[in-house]
Structure 1
Amino acid sequence: MGYQSITSGGEEPLIWAMYRLGQLSLPLFGFWFGPVSTGSDTGELILGGYDTTKYTGCFTYATVAVKGFWEFVADSIGVTVGSTTTTIASAINAILDTGTTAAILGPAIYVNAINSILGATWNSTFGWYTVNCQTKPLSAFPNITIIISGVPFTLTPLMYIQIAGGPSNYICYSVISTISQNDANSNPIWILGDFFLRRFYSVFDMQNNRIGLALSTSYSTIQTPPSTLFQSTTTLFPPSSTTTNTVTTTVALPAQCFNYTTINDTTRLTTAGANGVCDSTVFSSTSTNVPTFVRFVSPGGTR
């Protein structure tokens, strides 16, 4: 689903070929991942459009920096514990990748710094960092924020800690790990994977060469941790009154705004600028009487 430069034989990108052949109104696609299995939809891919029921606010856009994977430059990544924020790295080259399970992959020097703040240790048996979730309170773990085009995208602890095992042998993983890879311009690469994308609806726009992120409707839906873990922190996560086996975090959500209208075969998006005022961009299509989008939904069940 990336650009032509990374295809094995120089093939035309699928999304662009479908658009050129009149099968899609727009050469873009949208992804939504459900963070908790509820027995219903757990994911959705739309070719040629996006699902307005799966996000709130508006899209924040970043221009594609290298036309290969969906790579862009994020302002910074930082961690916050209490009122103290530490910037880990600035002007990072990041890729949105639906094929990467982790929340964040990055250069070892920076990822090791993040995991050090988490108190995580490398587990060579499992190939992931692990954290102390038996006795360490959840409030001691930081929020992790990536700033993109001036807008914060924040992961709270239970969004980047994966709990495995059973009552006698729970293991908690930090799904933040290392990668040693450079892009075509020799820039070290960061990857934002599924654990990140579960919280933010993503749009990949090949016409305007940009990625877009908006707050997922499932942002605050988090699986309840076992009562024996993260001692003395259960009061921070009251059960949701509307969703089974989930809790709602109290973190401030990214400030965004969105307006959407459709005029014939033209979709207008208004996106939040750095000053909080929306700037307008018009998507236009030369095709007429073509499908707006193609929708794929993954079946319910465990992801």
Structure 2
Amino acid sequence: MSPPPLLQPLLLLLPLLNVEPSGATLIRIPLHRVQPGRRILNLLRGWREPAELPKLGAPSPGDKPIFVPLSNYRDIGGIKGASVIFGEALWEPSLVFAFAHFDGILGLGFPILSVEGVRPPMDVLVEQGLLDKPVFSFYLNRDPEEPDGGELVLGGSDPAHYIPPLTFVPVTVPAYWQIHMERVKVGPGLTLCAKGCAAILDTGTSLITGPTEEIRALHAAIGGIPLLAGEYIILCSEIPKLPAVSFLLGGVWFNLTAHDYVIQTTRNGVRLCLSGFQALDVPPPAGPFWILGDVFLGTYVAVFDRGDMKSSARVGLARARTRGADLGWGETAQAQFPG
């Protein structure tokens, strides 16, 4: 899922793999926050006359090789000898890709989603002995004033990022990271997903999305004002009065306060408060389902465990630590590997 273009004032860049010294079990990839600059406006000027795309069935250039120049952006490097096949995107359907200055998209879903059966990067790293386990975790720093956007950890998780213990929820459909959500409550008076529903944890989605009717009821409870494309705005003055929104996962309630689920930005000196919930209907057979995107995953660290021959895939969730809380950011914490 691609993040909505409206919510791209800050972008997280994921450099290519940056490995720790030889013998380390974890691969740590820092996430950097950047502001789109003037370059974006220059790019958009060229969109008036889009290049003509090749039509299906058009004659091929024969057996002659085609050379396509690739630009390497923010590769802080490190892993050598890993042979990974990647696909080249010939056309992007959204302005998101013009705003997001990055090398590409690192797919961390299950192999069934892979195009042409190509082995996903996680599988390749495990097969080549660069990772002990097919486990990874995301810590997302949502402080807009910090250039540090968080960290992706391959091979396990770091308790410096979260407050233990982790609550593990089994993956119900091993394609996207889909789990069963038991219930959603908005304050004391509104229950959504009352009979249980499917939910997907996805760092590629900025907001929390859900079926239109349920998201409409949620915004009626928190005073959301419809904007565009299923998005809502919130009166900034109302934030201290808004109720918590809570998700029941694995028998544990995961609460979001209004400060967690309202995105506050300033544009041209004007303060704007955007709801972190968006209406998105996914039709059967894949849907309907909710997507717990970065609004949720910035508050709760997720540990994605692909499992093995002895155990099934699962996702661990725990409250993210704020910088400087409990463990100092510069202190070393023992890495945790789900058993």
Query: For residue 114 of structure 2, what is the amino acid of its counterpart?
Result: T
- Closer, same or farther: CA 13–133 of 1 in aligned 2, 3 Å: same
Which of the two has higher C-alpha Rg? 2
Gapped regions of structure 1 (runs ≥ 5): 222-241, 243-259, 270-281, 283-303
Distance 1:138 1:220 in 2: 24
Name the SS of the counterpart of 2:282 in structure 1.
coil
Distance 1:268 1:48 in 2: 8
Partner of 2:305: 205
Partner of 1:146: 247
Distance 1:93 1:220 in 2: 35
Name the SS of the counterpart of 2:115 in structure 1.
coil
Which has a greater percent of helix? 2
Counterparts in 2 of 1:1-303, with a 5 A limit?
Answer: 1-37=108-144, 39=146, 41-80=148-187, 84-90=188-194, 91-102=196-207, 104-124=208-228, 128-134=231-237, 136=238, 138-139=240-241, 141-165=242-266, 169-182=270-283, 185-207=285-307, 208-218=312-322, 269=338, 282=339
Return the offset for 1:21.
1.8
- The Cα offsets for residues 191-214 of structure 1, whole Å up to 9 and x where unpaired, read as 001111111111110113111111
Distance 1:111 1:199 in 2: 20
Query: For residue 9 of structure 1, what is the amino acid of its counterpart?
Result: E
Q: How many residues align structurally?
A: 221
Gapped regions of structure 2 (runs ≥ 5): 1-107
Identity of counterpart residues, as a percentage?
28
Name the SS of the counterpart of 2:221 in structure 1.
helix
Once superposed, what is the RMSD of the aligned Cα atoms? Answer: 2.6
Contact kept, 8 Å, 1:35 with 1:218, in 2: the verdict is no
- The Cα offsets for residues 94-152 of structure 1, whole Å up to 9 and x where unpaired, read as 111001111x101001111101111112113x862012224x3622x110000101111
Contact kept, 8 Å, 1:199 with 1:218, in 2: the verdict is no
Higher RCO by CA contacts (8 Å cutoff, separation 6 or greater): 1
- The Cα offsets for residues 39-92 of structure 1, whole Å up to 9 and x where unpaired, read as 463210111111121111211111111111100111111111xxx242111312
Contact kept, 8 Å, 1:74 with 1:146, in 2: the verdict is yes
Distance 2:170 2:212 in 1: 26
Which has a greater percent of strand? 1
Contact kept, 8 Å, 2:231 with 2:279, in 1: the verdict is no
Return the offset for 1:182.
4.1
TM value normalised by structure 2: 0.60
Distance 2:317 2:126 in 1: 22
TM value normalised by structure 1: 0.66
Query: For residue 305 of structure 2, what is the amino acid of its counterpart?
Result: D
- Closer, same or farther: CA 3–175 of 1 in aligned 2, 3 Å: same
